[in-house]
Amino acid sequence: MKDDLVVVVPGIMGTALTRKGTDVWNLTPQAMSGLLRPGRTGELLALPEGIGNDDPEPPHALELGGVIHGPRLLPGLVSSTEYPDLRTPLGIEEERFAEFRYDWRLSNRNSADKLRLFVEERLARWRETADPRRFPRAGEAKVVFLCRSMGGLVVRYYIEVLGGWEQTRSVATLGTPFSGSVKALRFLTGRVRWVPSPFRERIHEVCSTYPSLGQLIPTYRVVVDRQEGRSRLKGQPVDGVGTGMIDDSFAFFQEVQDAIEENDAVHGPRRYVLVALGGDKHRTDQALSLSPAGVPRFHEDFSDSGDPEDRRLPLFGDGTVAHIAQIPPEWADTGQTVWLDSRHADLINSAHALKQLRRVCDGLAPAGVLSTGEPVGVEFPDFARAGEPFEVWATNADAAMALRVRRLAEGGASVADEPMLPCGDGRFRAELRAGPGRWTLEVHSKPLRYTCRDVVLVV
């Protein structure tokens, strides 16, 4: 309802992590070069081995800056375009709006416990200080959560395992990996696309110490085999990832699912409203197969499964999280998810997503599927070398769409606009070059009023 407290919970790279005022995860071309300096990476960015659900001690501890509203990316894993202050498009008064800042490197259990303390303090303050003439029901207010990506996992753990459902009115998630992400596993094994050596090795060295990323290892039946069909990853060795990290991911998701079943049985399934928004048009890692030595090979479909039913599973996703993983496991009907055309990086900027989020904040029922229904999928690189060519692809397109690719500077100004050329079978391609910087790429169609964006780091 309109008297509730609205809390935004960002995901990976969504909160600035600082030391002595420097945002140490603001990856610019200069910062990427700094990653290669001996000793600097481990001191500034890595976490100690075996940290589990604890907070780090100095020198590993970092300070919290603000929630990031500009473009960011962690090459090979996740990116985010610039997004607006949500208060204005959603019509939320400043005094009932809050952003939860947290160290996204740490265990999601740790972050959920900090969210519990944050909600206790902010909700109590709102109930006590809200103007009764403007907000007559603030005394019985609850929380409306707006969650980006991994932020939805933090909120789910808080709500279900830590009992936060009693303070929760509704939850809206954007691209949340409810059962993990194959792309995260690719990242953790050091087998990311686009990113060349030695950047790939250094990023892997640092980020493989982050418990939160380990808790993104997929828990659905993700391993495909031509004889056996599909199976779960648990109990199967994976080259480059410790079994303890895999076990922790399964334990984390199982804790949430067990709590959901118990809470539903005791208190009923309609304790709060859950609205999931996701992207489903773009080529996305869906599955993997394993060699006898545990070396993973990643797949964008389930065609390598021996079970014919698996080959009929929905393909694609938002470029980061597969379609199947953006659906809460307890939902029997996949149609409950609101599917959008945007990629993971830009879901929050979708006009359709903002309309849905406003309904959630106003206490209205979900409006159903708001996607324009355009079938176009887009594939962007997230890393390129300065002056060298890189490609942008579109699929399921046609010439009448007149697709073009813009390269936008961080202020939003267009510095290049190239046509995409047909390659047959509904595929279109453009080749671009750029100087060093963090650029936003935008595929757009003037006849359809269609846009799709993501971020590339050029070094």
pLDDT tens sequence across 343-397: 999 999 988 899 999 999 988 877 655 455 567 999 999 999 999 999 999 999 9
127 membership: H or E segment, kind and range? helix 108-129
Confidence at residue 445, expressed as pLDDT on a 0 to 100 scale: 95
Quote the CA–CA distance of 381 and 384 in Å, as a whole number.
Answer: 7
* CA-to-CA dists, residue 300 to 286, 289, 319, angstroms: 5, 11, 10
Q: Ramachandran region of residue 142, left (φ > 0), alpha (ψ -120 to 50) or beta?
A: beta
Supply the pTM of this predicted model.
Answer: 0.96
Confidence at residue 42, expressed as pLDDT on a 0 to 100 scale: 60
Residues of the chain with pLDDT under 70: 38-43, 333-335, 367-374
DSSP 8-state symbol, 4: S
**Would you say 128 and 155 are in contact if contact means Cβ atoms under 8 Å apart?**
no
**Would you say 103 and 10 are in contact if contact means Cβ atoms under 8 Å apart?**
no
Who contacts 217 (Cβ-Cβ below 8 Å, separation ≥6)? 180, 184, 185, 188, 233, 241, 245, 246, 249, 250
Tokens of 46: 């890595």
Confidence at residue 93, expressed as pLDDT on a 0 to 100 scale: 94
* CA-to-CA dists, residue 412 to 31, 87, 95, 407, angstroms: 22, 21, 29, 9
